[in-house]
Amino acid sequence: MGYRLSKIYTRTGDAGQTGLADGRRVPKDHPRIEAIGEVDMLNSQLGLLLAELATAQLSAPGLGEVIEALGPCQHRLFDVGGELAMPDYQALPQYEIDRIEGLIDRWNDELGPLTDFILPGGSRAIAQAHVCRSAARTAERCCQRLNAEEPLRALPLAYLNRLSDLLFVAARLIARRQGLPEILWQPAGATDA
């Protein structure tokens, strides 16, 4: 693959417009650019989670499976961004959604049913998995807003939805593999007695 970016700054966006891969210029606050930005933010947060897991894996070797499962998601998010930047481009295959659903099912079997609401926290890795889950929901909402104006292919929307579910289950699995209890939500007044 050749050089993609020979110059980082172009000055073409200084007036509040940016270019899509198909050559169109749109405002930087266009719903398509917002969606691309939120998918990019999710990818960055996921990178931070993977870095945190790599460090945490030294004391909890069972986290290697989580790293292997989530690592490809960064590449698929780049594919989603590509589809957003090039509206006629199709990069994300159905089997990626199937892969995520298989992981969710397998990890849920290990975890057992959830009987209480849980809060983010317990370790940096657990909390970062929840940050990623929240970022996935934000990216999904931005893509759905864009979809209402300019219909998108269904697969990227489904992928973001499943990825947020995977990240929730991953947070629970990380807690289990680190040997940490989940932080259970306590409604107001529950501990006041």
Separation CA 104–CA 179 (nearest Å): 20
Structural domain count of the chain: 1
- Mean confidence (pLDDT) of the chain: 91
| Domain with 111 in it | 26-182
* 102 within a domain of the structure (yes/no): yes
Write out pLDDT tens, residues 37-50.
999 999 999 999 99
Tokens 């990227």 correspond to 156
- Indicate whether 127 pLDDT > 80: yes
* 156 within a domain of the structure (yes/no): yes
* 193 within a domain of the structure (yes/no): no
* 136 within a domain of the structure (yes/no): yes
- Indicate whether 191 pLDDT > 90: no
Strand partners, 26: 18
> What is the per-residue pLDDT for 193?
47
* 151 within a domain of the structure (yes/no): yes
> Which residue type, as a one-letter code, is found at position 137?
R
Mean pLDDT of 87-113: 95
- Please name the helix (run of DSSP H) or strand (run of DSSP E) that holds residue 129, with its range, or none: helix 124-149
Mean pLDDT of 124-152: 97
CATH number for the domain harbouring residue 88: 1.20.1200.10
* 189 within a domain of the structure (yes/no): no
* 101 within a domain of the structure (yes/no): yes
Q: Is 132 within 8 Å of 49 (Cβ atoms)?
A: yes
Write out pLDDT tens, residues 24-41.
888 788 999 999 999 999
* 21 within a domain of the structure (yes/no): no
Can you count the helices (H) and strands (E) in the chain? 5, 4
- Indicate whether 113 pLDDT > 60: yes
- Indicate whether 13 pLDDT > 90: no
58: left (phi over 0), alpha (psi -120 to 50) or beta: alpha
